[in-house]
Each structure stands twice: as C-alpha cells, then as structure tokens.
Amino acid sequence: MTARHTSSEASGRVITEADIDEIAVGATVLGTGGGGDPHVGALIAKRLIRLHGDVPMLAVDDLSDDDFVVPIGGIGAPSVGVERIQSESELLLALQAIERATGRTPTAVMPIEVGGGNSMVPIATAAIAGLPIVDGDAMGRAFPEAQMVTFHLAGHGPGATVLVDHHGNEIVMRPVDGAWSERLARAATVEMGGGATMIDYAYGGDVVRDCAIPETLTLAKRIGGILGGRGAGGGELRDDQKIAALCDELDAVRLFDGKVVDLQRAVEGGFTRGAAELDGVGVDRGSSFRLDFQNEMLLARRDGELAAVTPDLVAVLDLATGMPITTEALRYGARVSIIAMPCHEKWRTPIGLETAGPAHFGYDVDWVPVEDLAKARAATEAEAGSAGGSSARARKEAA
C-alpha cells in the first residue's frame, strides 16, 4: 500500500492479493451470468496488486464532495471479454482521457457493476494508478446496457464517456442521455472488436454518495468466502452445503436444480444473447426450466411459469460446487442450481422497472417480485403436498 491514501489507510480497509479470488467469485454470482468472466481479470488484478501494492477501499459514505469518482469497466459481449486481456496501458489511457475531457483528476475508481470481470477491472486500475476503490457500484448486480445504472435512475446523464481499445484508439463521447450513450458506445465497441474499456457516469463524491449501491465489493467477498467453504461460525462448509448457505446469506430462493439440455447462444450487436433449457434433477426431476439471457440472465421460467424476472437477480451455480457459471461459460449437459434474489430497491421503482424491467428487453411479461413468485409457488406446492405430492421445500431441510 502506498502512502498516498491517508483516509483509507486510516480506515484500514484494503483489498489484498488474497482477497481477489473471493471477490471475483462473489461478484460473478451477483453478476447474474454477465459482468465479465472473472478468470483473466483476477489474474491481472492479483499481478498488479503484487506489483503496485494493496488497494485501499473507501466506503461510499466516506466520499467527500471534492472526490472525483471514476467508474471503469469492460463493455462488450462476454464471449469476447473472456479472451480479451485489458493491458495496463489501456486502463491508464482511459484514466488520462477522462481527466483530459473533464479537467478533473480522478481521486477514486469504482465498479460500474458488480460482475466477475467488472469487479476486477477497477481493482486493477486502482492498483496501477495508486487510487482507492469505492466499496459500492451503480447496479448492485450486472446489467447488459450502459444506461442501466443508479445514476440514470436519479436523473444524472452519462457525462463525458470514454472508450479505449487495445489498439490505442480513444473515444470521448458526450451523449445527450443514457440511451444514446449505450447506443453509441455499443456501436463503437463492436468496431473495436467486440470489447473495450469504458468510463462513464464519472461524478463528484456527493452524487456518488447519493447514487451508489454501497458495500457490494464487501458483499461479493462474503459470497466468495461461502463458496470457498467458509461457514458462518468459522467452520468449513462441504461442497454440498454451500448453495444452501449462500441462499441463507443472500435471502435467495433456490429455484431449480437441473441439467442443460438445450442451449442457443450467439454474439450479436455487441451482446451475448440466447436461452438455455433445463430438465430437472433430484427434487426437481420431472420439471423443466428455461433461462433467457442478454449477457445477463433476465428471465427464468419453471414449467412455463415465471420464476424470476429482471431486474431481480438470477444466478446459475454449479450443482456440485456452488461456483457461479456465466452465460458464456454455460455448457450443454452442465448440472446446475439456479437461485434468485431481490434486486436493490432502487430497481423496484417505476423508473427502475422502466429502465431494466422485462418490457425493456422485449419480454411480454409483467415484473413480479421474486419473493412473491416464490411464495405463490410454495403455496401451490403445499397444496399439492397436502394432497400427497412431494415438495421442493424438502430440499432445504435436506441440505
């Protein structure tokens, strides 16, 4: 850790090389299938922390009005991102471009979203630039489009928006609104080869205090800890206990255990788009499940009935180990468990649902809170159960 970050040194919270894998895994769960592949990003972040020192972490509430906070991440199809390595010079070029465009020197970076790759990019950037990172993000999850951020929900535009690529091309856009930012940035990203580094919604500490969803890096690390086997009481979790422990920690619903029997997936328009069909295993044998995704998992249906709808979070976990699987990494025959959890309350407002609800993605369904869908299904099952059927609830007790 350098001597530059006195406030965060005082708080004593830093991200070390040893934290990276847990954060990456946890952020991948919150990334709901998108937000970038964690593998390459984690390697880069660890290397840069080794080279440049630990990264100080600032609580959202600790930001001062004078801070200039720069959200930085990757944009593009995860199918491209998994093979794309953001170089140090690409990250530094992005920081230089935002400073030149705004005349303000960044004092902190932050993740624009919590996702496997996009939690790592700002950590790597912070390490190189000797800046602290904000413990929070602008989605509380990952979303596929650039305007799907809490800044947008609060009426803040994207401002000076930077895109850089590994060729050294630099673009600074000043789009009139978030929708134009997404549209122009996506087109540029496609030309840049399907992946680029992006800075948008760079704001002062006052705006970030209002808008950021706090403590999401800390939450990611806690999730990564559970999936790494760290139990609540300090004990070690067996692999077959992890998904249940995670659902307890996150107030998540375990929607379905099954194996992938059909998978359509294509890179188009700068996104990875597709759908997966699953047949149930274990307590879910005899049922089927469908997941629709655009980078992120957006819609989950069990036997044709809605089980979870964007902006609520849907994560696909390896059935044996609990480790998260991105939409890009999903494979035919994979045995998975699908969990869902409520999104942050900012997304459950009219503007939140307009921005990232099912209609925006062209799904002709109404959003219903995932916990209500779960309650309705539990009630139906209880009825069936009292009539002699089996109940999926048995799974929880068995775990």
Query: Which 66-105 positions form the footprint of a second copy (CB under 8 A)?
Result: 101
Which residue number, 35 or 158, has a Cβ lying nearer to a second copy?
158
What single-letter amino acid sits at 104? R
User: Other C-beta atoms within 10 Å of 332: how many?
Assistant: 10
Which residue number, 2 or 89, has a Cβ lying nearer to a second copy?
89
Rounded to a whole number of angstroms, the minimum distance from the CB of residue 68 to a second copy is 18
Strand 108-110 to 203-204 pairing? unpaired
Cα(326)–Cα(24) distance, integer angstroms = 12
Cα dihedral 114, 201, 151, 154 in deg (nearest 10): 180
Which residue number, 169 or 264, has a Cβ lying nearer to a second copy?
169
User: Other C-beta atoms within 10 Å of 245: how many?
Assistant: 19
> What are 56's strand-pairing partners?
14
Rounded to a whole number of angstroms, the minimum distance from the CB of residue 162 to a second copy is 10
Which residue number, 114 or 173, has a Cβ lying nearer to a second copy?
173
**Between the CA of residue 299 and those of 62, 277, 290, what are the distances in Å?**
36, 12, 8
Residues in the chain, total: 399
Rounded to a whole number of angstroms, the minimum distance from the CB of residue 163 to a second copy is 9
User: Considering the rule CB under 8 A, would residue 190 count as an interface residue with a second copy?
Assistant: yes
**Between the CA of residue 226 and those of 160, 236, 255, 315, what are the distances in Å?**
39, 9, 19, 15
* 236-244 LR contacts (CB < 8 Å, sep 24+): 239/320, 239/321, 239/322, 240/320, 240/399, 241/399, 242/321, 242/322, 243/317, 243/319, 243/322, 243/337, 243/339, 243/399, 244/396, 244/399
Which of 26, 175, 205, 358 touches a second copy (CB under 8 A)?
175
User: Considering the rule CB under 8 A, would residue 168 count as an interface residue with a second copy?
Assistant: yes
Q: Which stretch binds a second copy (CB under 8 A): 57-65, 171-179, 286-294, 318-326?
A: 171-179
Which of 48, 112, 171, 198 touches a second copy (CB under 8 A)?
171
User: Considering the rule CB under 8 A, would residue 208 count as an interface residue with a second copy?
Assistant: no
User: Other C-beta atoms within 10 Å of 362: how many?
Assistant: 9
Which residue number, 187 or 376, has a Cβ lying nearer to a second copy?
187
User: Considering the rule CB under 8 A, would residue 191 count as an interface residue with a second copy?
Assistant: yes
Query: Which 100-159 positions form the footprint of a second copy (CB under 8 A)?
Result: 101
What is the helix (H) or strand (E) element at residue 51, kind and residue range? helix 38-52
Residue 135 contacts residue 58 (beta carbons within 8 Å): yes
Which of 39, 180, 368, 399 touches a second copy (CB under 8 A)?
180
Which of 64, 169, 321, 380 touches a second copy (CB under 8 A)?
169
User: Considering the rule CB under 8 A, would residue 188 count as an interface residue with a second copy?
Assistant: yes
Rounded to a whole number of angstroms, the minimum distance from the CB of residue 101 to a second copy is 8
Which of 10, 85, 154, 176 touches a second copy (CB under 8 A)?
176
Q: How many residues bind a second copy (CB under 8 A)?
A: 19
Which residue number, 64 or 169, has a Cβ lying nearer to a second copy?
169
- The contact set with a second copy (CB under 8 A) reads 101, 167-176, 180, 183-184, 187-188, 190-192
